[in-house]
Amino acid sequence: MFNKRTKIGELLSSEPDNREVTVMGWVRTFRNNQFIALNDGSTNENLQVVLELGKFDDELLKRLTTSASVRAVGNLIPSLGRGQRSELKATAIEVLGDSDGEKYPLQPKKHSLEFLREQAHLRFRTNTFGSVFRVRHALAYAVHRFFNEKGFVYLHTPVITASDAEGAGETFKVTTLPFDATPRNEDGTVDFREDFFGRATNLTVSGQLEGELAAMAFSEIYTFGPTFRAENSNTARHLAEFWMIEPEMAFYDLEDNVDLAEEFIRYIIRYAIENNVQDLEFLAQRLADEEKQLPQDKRSEFGLMEKLSFVVDNRFERLTYTEAISILRESNYNKKKKFQYLIDQWGVDLQSEHERFLVERHFKRPVVLTDYPKNIKAFYMRQNDDGKTVAAMDILAPGIGEIVGGSQREERMDKLVSRMQEMHIPVKEMWWYLDTRRFGTVPHAGFGLGFERMVQFVTGMSNIRDVIAFPRTPKNAEF
Ligand code: ATP
Ligand code: MN
């Protein structure tokens, strides 16, 4: 058996009682021919492995370069040096995989996040990305734990679908048709009857519609999977492939929906604080250092840890779109024309500058906006009695903007169908969706939370490309 080792995270939180242990990992640094800083990804803390001078031969010492992989056996003793509680007094060292330290792209110094994006296959081995991806893992686990505790059923919705009924964004086409000899209809359009599925298909932009179908049987379900949007927006908050969590609940109205979303967000943040405090403190320090480079007025008022505790401990501000518009219209930012898009009338879609104004300047806390104009929202959202708005809700987070989008769904068949017709949604093709309204329809609601935006919020990383392992963005699909 090869895997007879103790993880470094576990060792460092145990008593240094001289017991013999085996560790394996990658060399971060090797100094004075004596001290290996060894890391195995279980924590950012390195284990100091001490090699007694003269005890190991020179050939071996030369191979202990940055990024070489090593197996070390020794005794865990209280550290003689400062900076760590315990260290490993090595009795045997074996190099598992050599590495040319000169050629290794990540030198033991600070690299820019941009540079590390080009080394995404190696960036896991840095402290920053070690912490980011352990926190990402913890949040993903907390998502499942939350819904499991509440009795929700985890539903796997299809990645390939024939509907973009949601109109959530540009889709990626899925086809096996040859590019050079595409079968054509008489009018010149592509004949998808010849295609693999016998019809035009695309990668899913959301699992919601399928989620609704299952909610009409299990009452409460959630999805957690990849979604794809071919939106050509090169922002720090958009990916072409991102993970979304979409709960869908029967017997919920809009308020129940917002309550669940708030409880959910608090729960997963609290889980990360309780289980990943070391990583979060590291990221908080990283963020503080990064912000020191910014002019005073661009720095945040609170550190990362304070911001997270604040969200866990305080209710989100809830207001309607209409109320938000009047706050924005009356704001100094609007009057002094500091917004790029000035707010002059009810009905416009909010830009991210407006969302950030509300969250970061006006309320200084996460904000839930409800009851948006129906003309800027999807067909399935429940129409309010005023004839102008729908029971939609967006949750806006500091530094990120929209993190959740959701609504109460239109459960009334006649209203749904007439809205679909108005919006040119193919009613006939959506027969399966409409069946839920035909056979035992109920008030129901749901939302979508962009997982990467959540990870950004919790880790304080300002670019979404730095919270997913291998980001997919316009003109970039390396790795
Ligand atoms: P935005 O206005 O920010 O583009 P949206 O209105 O298109 O968002 P929804 O269709 O409501 O977003 O999707 C639900 C959630 O998915 C959003 O609240 C956001 O957290 C996330 N999301 C949407 N588009 C992306 C993307 N391209 N990359 C990462 N996350 C996204
Ligand atoms: Mn969008």
Average pLDDT of the segment spanning 139-160 = 98
Which residues lie below 8 Å from residue 206, measured CB to CB, with a gap of 6+? 166, 168, 227, 244, 246, 448
Would you say residue 182 lies in a domain? no
Mutate to test the pocket of ligand 1, among 237, 377, 393 (most ligand atoms within 8 A of CB): 237
Average pLDDT of the segment spanning 253-279 = 98
Distance 450 CA to ligand 1 centre (A): 6
330 with 369, same domain? yes
Using the Cα atoms of residue 148, residue 153, residue 158 and residue 163 in order, give the sign of their dihedral: negative
The structure tokens 């990402």 sit at 136
Among protein residues, the one with the nearest Cα to ligand 1's atom 12 is: 405
Is the pLDDT reported for residue 169 higher than 80? no
Would you say residue 17 lies in a domain? yes
32 with 137, same domain? no
Is the pLDDT reported for residue 8 higher than 80? yes
149 with 266, same domain? yes
Mutate to test the pocket of ligand 1, among 223, 224, 244, 353 (most ligand atoms within 8 A of CB): 244
Ligand 1 nearest-atom number relative to CA 447: 14
Q: 416: domain CATH number? A: 3.30.930.10
The neighbouring-strand residues paired with 226 are: 243
Which residues lie below 8 Å from residue 32, measured CB to CB, with a gap of 6+? none
147 with 50, same domain? no
Is the pLDDT reported for residue 166 higher than 70? no
Is the pLDDT reported for residue 164 higher than 70? no
pLDDT digits (tens, 9 = 90+) for 332-369: 999 999 999 999 999 999 998 999 999 989 999 999 99
Q: How confident is the model at residue 457 (pLDDT cuts 50, 70, 90)?
A: very high
Average pLDDT of the segment spanning 205-209 = 95
Q: 44: domain CATH number? A: 2.40.50.140
Ligand of minimum distance to the alpha carbon of 223: 1
pLDDT of residue 296: 84
pLDDT of residue 80: 82
Would you say residue 176 lies in a domain? no
Distance CA(48)–CA(12), nearest Å, equals 10
Domain residue limits at 137: 125-170+205-466
Among protein residues, the one with the nearest Cα to ligand 1's atom 8 is: 402
278 with 412, same domain? yes
Q: How crowded is the C-beta side of 187, counted as CA atoms within 13 Å?
A: 1
379 with 457, same domain? yes
83 with 137, same domain? no
If one counts the domains in the chain, the total is 2
pLDDT of residue 150: 98
Considering only residues 444 and 233, tell me which one the structure prediction assigns the higher pLDDT: 444
Would you say residue 195 lies in a domain? no
pLDDT digits (tens, 9 = 90+) for 75-129: 999 998 887 899 999 999 999 999 998 899 998 888 999 999 999 999 999 999 9
241 with 341, same domain? yes
Q: How confident is the model at residue 168 (pLDDT cuts 50, 70, 90)?
A: low
Distance 232 CA to ligand 1 centre (A): 13
Ligand 1 nearest-atom number relative to CA 401: 3
Query: Beta 317-320 vs 444-450: how paired, if at all?
Result: unpaired
307 with 415, same domain? yes
34 with 145, same domain? no
175, 195 Cβ separation under 8 angstroms: yes
16 with 153, same domain? no
Listed in sequence order, the DSSP H helices in 13-126 are 58-62, 113-118
Listed in sequence order, the DSSP H helices in 173-320 are 208-218, 254-275, 277-292, 304-313
For the chain, the average pLDDT equals 95
Q: How confident is the model at residue 238 (pLDDT cuts 50, 70, 90)?
A: very high
Among protein residues, the one with the nearest Cα to ligand 1's atom 24 is: 238
Select from 110, 228, 128, 204 the least CA-distant residue to 467.
Answer: 128
Is the pLDDT reported for residue 74 higher than 70? yes
Distance 169 CA to ligand 2 centre (A): 6
Ligand of minimum distance to the alpha carbon of 369: 1
Average pLDDT of the segment spanning 222-238 = 93
Which residues lie below 8 Å from residue 287, measured CB to CB, with a gap of 6+? 303, 304, 460
236 with 291, same domain? yes
Distance 474 CA to ligand 1 centre (A): 16
Ligand of minimum distance to the alpha carbon of 227: 1
pLDDT digits (tens, 9 = 90+) for 189-199: 999 999 999 99
Distance CA(459)–CA(215), nearest Å, equals 32
Is the pLDDT reported for residue 34 higher than 90? yes
Q: How confident is the model at residue 423 (pLDDT cuts 50, 70, 90)?
A: very high
Among protein residues, the one with the nearest Cα to ligand 1's atom 22 is: 450
Among protein residues, the one with the nearest Cα to ligand 1's atom 29 is: 238
As for ligand 1, residues whose beta carbon falls within 6 Å of it are 168, 229, 231, 238-239, 242, 244, 402-405, 448-450, 452-453
